[in-house]
Structure 1
Amino acid sequence: MGVVEIGGWADETFGGVADVFRDNFAEFGELGTAVSVRVGGRPVVELWGGVADQRSGRPWTRETVVPVFSCAKGLVSICAHLLAQQGRLDLDAPVATYWPEFAAVGKERITTRMVLGHRAGVPVLDRTPSFAEIAEWAPVVHAVEEQVPLWEPGEAYEYHGHVFGFLVGEIIRRITGLTPGRFFREAIGEPLGVRAWIGLPASETGELARLVEAEGRPAGDPQSLLMRIVTMNGALVFPGLDEPHGWNDPELLGMELPGAGAVASASGLAALYGAAVTGIDGGSRLLSTETVTDAVREVSAGPTWQGFDLGQRWGSGFLLDSEHPRPMLGGRSFGNDGAGGQFVFGDDEFGVGFAYVANRMIGHGDDRANRLVTALRACLKG
């Protein structure tokens, strides 16, 4: 590819991150991308480059936002931990304490922490909601209420995909009276001024990057449990980007899909996680040391209910540091990644908020973000 114009800056101490960011274009064929790092509440890396929309050639800027898929789980989980910190949510109390109808058909013992740790036994629904019903919210909530757990809750774990967002999101709604996207914006997003949404407002579509599929990504077996989880039994498409109902469709991005439907900028996500662990612009930190300690305690690891061990470790709502697939900075790191390779995390030992986003969907867990984190780790040690 030709010379890629890169915008932004990096503190001299963090030049190694800038070098890797530049090299990723040649190594991985990046189209458009951004990386943002905050340390001690202060931005130390703010870089972007390439093309936000391949059709028009519109360049990526600091304001560019992009779908970040399951990084949405981090936004929802931060909301849940904030409510717990405020004494409004007990993560170890039954979900039915806040949502009585949820207790039906064997779910009376399920706690919010089981959901956050992917141990609740409801990773997928028997029912297939329509696209309109997903947008409406209540029909999916009713389907969750009717769902029989696939295993004894708490006894195994399996990635809960979209159900994670609706389940934790409804707990948030029962406590606050606000849907999770609205609560996030009112309690966190707007006060902090971060460019991140669960339900993208129409006013932001002009800054939206357009996703493209990398060549050769497998479609997957639609009957497999994983594909049922990530498509809500085929109601959504994956992989699939085009209208109707693909991940470039403004109608999909505008709805509240809190398990996988966040749209954000890199600087917005880094500021969010920076605020969570240190505060930003001199403000107090969003999550206390005790809250982070609770969040990073391992809840799930090892083989899943299906018997797969992908190396992931889960705390309460977040991926934790692991050798594979997502090394971070250490035992105080917590974050989430997305289906297109996006990755965000915070760490209060190092005072770091990190975010990497891109619009070329090479694949879940690819090495672009990992290389940036490796460079960041070296810069911090230096």
Structure 2
Amino acid sequence: MSVPDLSGRVAPGFEAVAEELGAILAESHGSGAAFAVYEGSHPLIDLWGGVADRDTGTPWQEDTIQLVFSGTKGLVASCLLVLLDRGALELDGPVSRYWPEFAAAGKGEVTVGQAVSHMAAVPGLRDGFGAADLLDSGRMAERLAAEAPFWEPGTQIAYHALTYGWLCDELVRRLDGRSTGRFFAEELAVPLGLDLWIGLPPELEEYVARLTPADDYGITYLGDEPEPLLDAVYGGLMAEFRWNEHAFHQAEIPAANAIGTARSIARLYGCLAGGGGPLVSGDVVRVGRAELARGICAITRRPYAFGVGFELQTELGRFGPPADAFGHTGSGGSSHGAWPTEGLGFSFAMNELQPEARDSRAPRLLAALADCLSR
């Protein structure tokens, strides 16, 4: 391939995407990235390049894996689709039907649909938490079950940055008996042959790219909410950047610590874009991407729309030009999703974390992809 510092494969007609990723890497000042696109189970684009560890200069390789932060939520949403497809879960039913302890403090009528669309009114924990608390999802679920709603459930959207994971993980555990990480591995990753984990096996640590936050990296925040509310939602995460530590890779943090390759995430979304087979029915994929909530986040004041855990398109156009796109982005710039009309799944994963306000990397790649498709 002629693009400097770039390796991989590109189907004829998509060379402009490789050129765009090459330009992004040339501007990256010593970081790395991967971008992949699948049409169903067929790879159209599988590219990687740059540096996996800025400190050592280790190059990004074909088997480099990357932590994708809230890209994890789309994987968890895919687990929920499996449970919906099997009739084990009902969106209109109360969370407390499956998790009785969650009814405490006035949450007895919160529905599963509200919980998975960030309308459950428990976006954080009033007593706060530190980064190390994330290593015990069971304990965090207990604390969440005891938490009172911050406002009337179902009345406003608020991004449940971490509590989404504990909510969904506990639903999976109560319904199936397995943790979300194990459920994902056995029901989705193994059948599709994905190099993708929620809770990384220790022997794979050597393949993980090292995250490098930009100096201005932080929470996307457009409002003027008091800081205690932000602390309740995000805890000490921004003050304590510990995501390069092995403990934070190997624990199951079901809203935030999936690790894998871009090709594996694109393969998963390619499956969903193509109708769900062999994982779930086309009908349940349509349910999963149907809008359950839309509005301005009560905490960050940015627009959101959600289906069953998946982000949907808003005026920000985070998933490229198609209006029917869905998926989930990750803090720092990763973007993963499906274009159903085109039957495509995509994933962009990188190790330099940039603030959303100035990060154009994924939008540039998706624009190049759309341009190639239109020719």
Give SS of 1:101's match: helix
Match of 1:252 among 229, 233, 248: 248
* CA contact 2:122–2:150 (8 Å) conserved in 1: yes
- Kindly state the Cα deviation for residue 108 of structure 1 after the two structures are TM-superposed: 0.8
Match of 2:230 in 1: 226
Task: Give the equivalent residue in structure 1 for 2:198.
Answer: 198
Matches within 5 A, 1:149-298: 149-217=149-217, 223-230=227-234, 233-234=235-236, 237-238=237-238, 240-241=240-241, 246-278=242-274, 284-298=277-291
Structure 2 residue 345 is the aligned partner of structure 1 residue 341? no
- The residue type paired with residue 232 of structure 2 is R
CA drift of 1:296 comes to: 2.0
Query: Which TM-score applies when normalising by structure 2?
Result: 0.92
Match of 1:315 among 295, 307, 315: 307
Checking the alignment, whether the CA contact within 8 Å between 2:217 and 2:354 is kept in structure 1 is: yes
Of 57-66 and 134-143, more deviation after overlay is shown by: 134-143
Indicate if the aligned counterparts of 1:277 and 1:285 stay in contact, CA closer than 8 A.
Answer: no
DSSP-derived class of the 1:290 partner = helix
CA distance in 1, matches of 2:133, 2:28: 38
1:276–1:285 Cα contact (<8 Å) kept: no
Q: Which residue of 1 aligns with 2:362?
A: 369
Superposed CA deviations along residues 21-54 of structure 1, whole A, max 9, x for unmatched, are 1111234546100000001321010110011011
* Distance across 2 between alignment mates of 1:216 and 1:142: 34
d(CA) in 1 for partners of 2:298, 2:138: 28
Is 2:367 the partner of 1:359? no
Q: How many residues align?
A: 368
Counterpart CA distance in 2 for 1:79 and 1:364 is 27
Q: Structure 2: where are the runs of 5+ without partners?
A: none
Q: Which AA in structure 2 matches 1:299?
A: L
RMSD: 2.2
Task: Check 1:42–1:239 CA distance in 2 against 1; reply closer, same or farther (3 A cut).
Answer: farther
Unaligned stretches of 5+ residues in structure 1? none
Q: Map Cα deviations across residues 120-161 of structure 1 (whole Å, 9 max, x no partner).
A: 000001233565653233221110111000111111110001
Which segment is superposed worse, 269-278 or 113-122? 269-278
Cα distance in 1 between the residues matched to 2:300 and 2:13? 43
Query: What's the offset of the Cα at 1:274?
Result: 1.3
Give 2:188's aligned amino acid.
I
- Are 1:381 and 2:374 matched, yes or no? yes
In the aligned structure 2, how far is the partner of 1:199 from the partner of 1:222? 33
- Is the 1:277–1:287 Cα contact (8 Å) retained in structure 2? no
2:318 alignment partner in structure 1? 326
TM (normalized to structure 1)? 0.90
Q: Distance in 1 between matches of 2:232 and 2:122?
A: 12
Contact 1:10/1:46 (<8 A) preserved: yes
Tell me what 1:33 maps to.
33
AA aligned to 2:257 is: G
Contact 1:76 1:180 in 2 (8 A): yes
Query: Equivalents in 1 of 2:162, 2:12: separation in Å?
Result: 41
Aligned residue among 279, 289, 292 for 1:299: 292
Inter-partner Cα distance in structure 1 for 2:82 and 2:353:
32
Report if aligned partners of 1:292, 1:332 keep a CA contact under 8 Å in 2. Answer: no
Task: Give the aligned residue type for 2:295.
Answer: G
* More displaced stretch, 360-369 vs 38-47: 360-369
**Does the 8 A contact of 2:16 with 2:368 survive in 1?**
yes
The answer (yes or no) to whether the contact 1:28–1:368 under 8 Å persists in 2 is no
8 Å contact from structure 1 (residues 32, 60) kept in 2: yes
- What letter is aligned with 2:252? E
Q: Matched residues in 1 for 2:304 and 2:28: separation?
A: 24
Q: Bigger shift: 178-187 or 52-61? A: 52-61
1:8 matched to 2:1: no
Q: Secondary structure at the match of 2:181?
A: helix
1:381 CA displacement = 2.0
Q: Choose 202-211 or 267-276, whichever is displaced more.
A: 267-276
Q: Which residue of 2 aligns with 1:127?
A: 127
1:16–1:285 CA distance, 2 compared to 1 (3 A): farther
| Alignment CA distance shift 1:227-1:195 (3 Å) | farther
Q: How far has the Cα of 1:259 moved from its partner?
A: 0.8
